Structure 1
Amino acid sequence: MYAAYAAILISVYHRSNYLERSISNEGDYERHAFMERLTLMDNEDCYNQLRMGNDAFARLINILRGTGRLRNNAHSNVEEQVAKFLHIVGHNLKNRTMKFYFKRSSETISRHFHQVLRAIISLDDDCIGAIDGSHFRVKVSNDVVQRYQGRKYYPTQNVLATCSFDLKFTYVLPGWEGSASDSRILDNALVRDFDKLIVPQGNYW
């Protein structure tokens, strides 16, 4: 919890310093206002736009900036570069759409996209697979059906699973009701006494 808050504060500090130096015209104001809405909005809205929550976005920024994979430049900071990338891959957006939102040229958007892509790929050395929650339809008694009915119109279990790059399941945690969020299930998987999810030191999914 405290680490997440610290990551957000550090990200806001970098962004504030950058804003003081870089805002010079109307396009800059519109772009930075848009970035503020993206990164300072409530967690659900941030997830809907960037496909990750505020704390995850701040941590990703700190990893990419802290390891020197991405840097602020004279015209854009790391937050903006990563937000453009996440917007494109999360919503399958075209450059012409991104030009409207970020007030940047197609060349700049393309360059930033590939810079962030290379930075993300470079993290792959420590990545050991994929992790996600999947919903499976179930039949439950009427007295608990609401707990199992989340985003679907029918009751489900939200099953957390990890998979290696050779397509083998390495961890499966069934049983959670469909209304439970992926983050809640992951938090439980990391601390449970039985069938705990073990993350090797220095690795991630």
Structure 2
Amino acid sequence: MQARISDGEAIFHKLVDLIPERNLLQDTRGVDVEQHVAIFMYAVSKNASNRDLQCRFQHSGETITPYRNRKGTLSQNVMVACNFDNQFKNVSAGWEGSASGARVLQDALQNNFYVPEGKYYLVDAGYASTPNFIAPYRNVRHHLQEQGRSNQRPQTPEELFNLRHAQLHNHVEQIIGVVKMHFQILKCASHHPIDSQADIVLACGALHNFIRSHEGSEQ
């Protein structure tokens, strides 16, 4: 009896077929595309060390990528824009952790991120409201926990708006939670070089979208 291929395996093989078609990666001596993808997927999903990867895939340290350094950990500010299909429309990564959200957004707008005409994005309280980006009202309850602690229904139009805004913001947090659940490397400080850290975030976002587009499970 032929074994049934799981949804995850089917999506993995679709990805393996797509990558060489797009000239993103080719077989190298001793490691084919399927192994390259498997190594990377295992690394980002388990936050595996170089040594762990060498042991699991039986390759030398020179073959296994990405590499880790010994310079300690760094943090980065990542801005994402999501749609109602639980996919990322934009991921801006690589900014130092102290960078303001407004600065990251401005840079994204100068580098291929745009808002379709007649549309807008909701942003959190760290941003200013503009015709294309709508933040919650300031000095008005805007977190779901604040609404819950008050133990009463919204009393003003501004409180009602902030409640609905918070509910949608919570949807975005759930999407991010799903990505972190799938890619454990995003849940803790990383020892990878900063350029690699930014690329890893972008790759995880792209992989998430690929899985979603092929109706992969969120669980």
**Structure-1-length-normalised TM-score:** 0.34
More helix by share: 1
User: Is the radius of gyration larger for structure 1 or structure 2?
Assistant: 2
**Structure-2-length-normalised TM-score:** 0.32
